[in-house]
Chains A and B, each alone.
Chain A
Amino acid sequence: MLDIREEKIGSDCVLSLSGDLTVCNIGQVREKLMELYSTEDHVRVNIAGESSIDFTFFQLMCSAHRTFSSGGKHISFDKTEGCPLDLKKFSLGFSRRSGCSNDKCGNCLWVVKESV
């Protein structure tokens, strides 16, 4: 199960994702991010309500970050308590000291300063 909600907080659009962020339904999240890319300048992703995350979520977020950055837009994670993202990103190899070669703006989602 996946629940997708969006909320406008000031100039930010907060995209709240809860449920399973896995290969089974990651396509829906992609669709939503595509939609937000065309309408929003600054998106914050909140995954406080997630029940499981797999690698495809990390891949999607990299893609979203790349897309938003190339269009001069911004995407980031909302700070959430008790989220297993840190642990996951470490074991999946996304824990970074600096972004990858596509991180032109220097705001990679996975570098320590950006992490939750």
Chain B
Amino acid sequence: MSADIHKQAFVTEAGELLEELEHSLMELENTPDDSDLVAKVFRAMHTIKGSGSMFGFDNLAAFVHGIETAYDLVREGKLAVTQEMIENSLKACDVIKEMVADETIDSSGGDAAAIKDFFSALRSGGDAADKPAEKAKESKSSLTTFRVQFKPHEDIFTRGVNVQLLLNEMAELGECKVIAHSENIPYLDELESEKCYVNWDIILTTDKGENAIRDVFIFVEDDCDITITPVAFYDGESSDEHERIGEILVEKGDISRIELEAILAEKKRLGEILVEKGVVPPSAIAAALEEQKHIKEIKAKKIEAEGMTSIRVQSDKLDFLVDLVGELVTVQARLSQTAARKNEPELLKIAEDVERLVWDLRDNTMSIRMLPIGSTFSKFNRLVRDLSHTLGKKIDLVTEGAETELDKTVIEKLNDPLVHLIRNSIDHGLEMPEERKAAGKKETGTITLSARHSGDSVLIQITDDGRGIDPEKVRKKAVEKGLIAETAELTPKEACELILAPGFSTAEAVSNISGRGVGMDVVKKNIEALKGTLDISSEKGSGTVISLKLPLTLAIIDGLLIRVADQFFIIPLAVVEECIELTPKDIANSHGRSIIQVRGDIVPYIKLRELFGIRGDVPEIQQIVVTEIDGRRVGFVTDAVIGDHQTVIKSLGKIFKEVHGVSGASILGDGSVALIIDAVKIYHGIE
């Protein structure tokens, strides 16, 4: 049922909230007196608890409640943030993650029980028996009464929402009066009993702010209309009860201003009295009324704008949209090709307009899937913190370019490789504080995680200032493992890259951090699966830089369309450097070797005709597409280079799983198929 969808929405939201929570906790660890951070932690806990309870995660809600209460005491200045508290809170985040993944897990054993006990003891030390009513009395000076107008959409129940839980949670915020407006409930014969015909006014007096009220409705904000209005501040000023009732009714829309005025006609209005007595001119009253109206309008617009800033959409819907856009790009190519062939001005004009619109649509659709990589980066703070504690190393994690945007799918698939690379940097790369000191370095090592756009790709680098990779040591190990001959001549860079070989590890011992056989080859494979490349550069004693070059998206790529006989291929533009001619003279000069001189450099090339076994006459002048793979230049020989081509990647299916050197296919304007060349795999296969 749809309730499952909403449960899933909670799981997603909870994941995001937990990330924020971890981040706030780690910041709080450095600045324990920051009241904003304490409030942030409290709010995150409160939202996880409230929403968890709403979607049936009762064990989770019960577990979080105790921790939330402790942070409430911190907010009130009754408890101080300690290292132990942060430590337990971070562990609690892990437990919550498990509880979100499996709602049957309770807090009766293991880490969860220990955390519960810790916070329970903490609360007893503070003032756990602090009851809301007493609290309200104590902080009466900051109390505010809000009028919350809660109007659920008719279909709210079919979305798995239980209004009772929302109202209960409101009641937890302070003194609360709930009024149901049931006038719209129809007669039995018209009633659809699963629909909601009721709306509520909730009068809440609380010392919490408006945000706390909004938090209650955070998971249903798309399923209802919520208006929150502060109606009274308890600052000692009294108000005229009779006038207030009229104002409240008008404000709520229960009666119109005209009706109110008609009812109050016998009694003169304040403005009239002021004008009659000559205190203010009539224009001043008119201006004041205008100002009041204006402020109200601006407020209403602001609320509306805030509601419109973002919308949560299931990712499979976006995937479907991208698929459709992909189809549209293909059809548009056919239209352009047909128009060009027919050469009719009117048709050409239409084709041009469609092309422009499709490109805009493609760019916009792709941008919807783009997310800043910062959310992934922030996860690593916790990883670095935990590993530095475990290994006794001092580490600073610096992140740069967190705002760099990448396709959601790429970001998701990038997580595991990045975890592995950072673990490696910490475990193998960075030295112990004493060792660093002895080497004349700062005791605290630095790992820099950076991202930036580079053409139509994203360059992600993991840089550490550790001991670097020792090419000799790597070489020795590779000889031991039989990966290279003892006499093999390797540059330091080539030696370093041996760590990418399957099963290779320089770790002296298997630890729980790394060296478990799941090596850099897996990372490389994962990056290549994302159509990206991995490059290592390291200097012994100074550190290592791992560079990952990734496409912005996996769905549509910019490619170079080439032809061999009557077969079309596409080479991703991301790896293309330039195109040059291959003349019979060049072939003669190379004396049977597949190499060509390009401005003094020797570039090896691969003949696609031979590679794919394509028959037919070879043109006198062939074309070489020069690519850069893993920092090396490699050419691909073709009959002709046709030009750039927007490529919608189509999977080849299981039957073609074993086909070497091809990563997918694309449909061309005339309906024929062009295979997308996996240049990296071909290069490594030949190598």
- Please judge, given known A-B contacts A55-B198, A56-B157, whether A64 and B193 are in contact too, CB under 8 Å: no
List of B residues within 8 angstroms of A93 by Cβ: 167, 178-180, 200-202
- Total interface residues on A, using CB and 8 Å? 29
Residue among B171, B182, B202 having the largest count of chain A Cβ atoms under 10 Å:
B182
List of B residues within 8 angstroms of A91 by Cβ: 164, 167-168, 171, 178
B454 contacts A by Cβ under 8 Å: no
A60 contacts B by Cβ under 8 Å: yes
B162 contacts A by Cβ under 8 Å: yes
- Please judge, given known A-B contacts A23-B194, A33-B188, A59-B198, whether A94 and B162 are in contact too, CB under 8 Å: no
**Given A34-B188, A93-B178, 9 extra CB contacts under 8 A:** A27-B194, A56-B194, A62-B182, A63-B186, A67-B188, A70-B187, A91-B168, A91-B171, A93-B167
On whether the beta carbons of B187 and A59 are closer than 8 Å, the reply is: no
User: Which B residues are closer than 8 A to A by beta carbons?
Assistant: 157, 162-164, 167-168, 171, 178-183, 185-189, 191, 193-194, 196-198, 200-202
List of B residues within 8 angstroms of A66 by Cβ: 185, 187
Cα–Cα distance between A96 and B122 once the two chains are bound (Å)? 42
List of A residues within 8 angstroms of B198 by Cβ: 55, 59
A26 contacts B by Cβ under 8 Å: yes
A80 contacts B by Cβ under 8 Å: no
Give the A-B contact count at a CB cut-off of 8 A. Answer: 77
Cβ contacts A to B, 27 pairs, < 8 Å? A23-B194, A27-B194, A30-B191, A33-B188, A34-B188, A34-B189, A55-B162, A55-B164, A56-B193, A58-B180, A59-B196, A60-B191, A62-B182, A62-B185, A63-B186, A63-B187, A64-B188, A88-B164, A91-B171, A92-B167, A92-B178, A92-B180, A93-B180, A93-B200, A93-B201, A94-B182, A102-B182
Q: Which residue of B lies closest to A25 (CB)?
A: B193
A54 contacts B by Cβ under 8 Å: yes
A11 contacts B by Cβ under 8 Å: no
Least CB distance from A43 to B in Å reads 12
List of B residues within 8 angstroms of A56 by Cβ: 157, 193-194
Least CB distance from B374 to A in Å reads 40
List of B residues within 8 angstroms of A59 by Cβ: 182, 185, 191, 193, 196-198
Q: Which residue of A lies closest to B152 (CB)?
A: A55
A100 contacts B by Cβ under 8 Å: yes
Cα–Cα distance between A90 and B176 once the two chains are bound (Å)? 11
List of A residues within 8 angstroms of B168 by Cβ: 91
Q: Which 4 A-B pairs have the closest CB atoms?
A: A93-B180, A93-B178, A67-B188, A26-B193
On whether the beta carbons of B162 and A54 are closer than 8 Å, the reply is: yes
Cα–Cα distance between A90 and B177 once the two chains are bound (Å)? 9
On whether the beta carbons of B183 and A30 are closer than 8 Å, the reply is: no
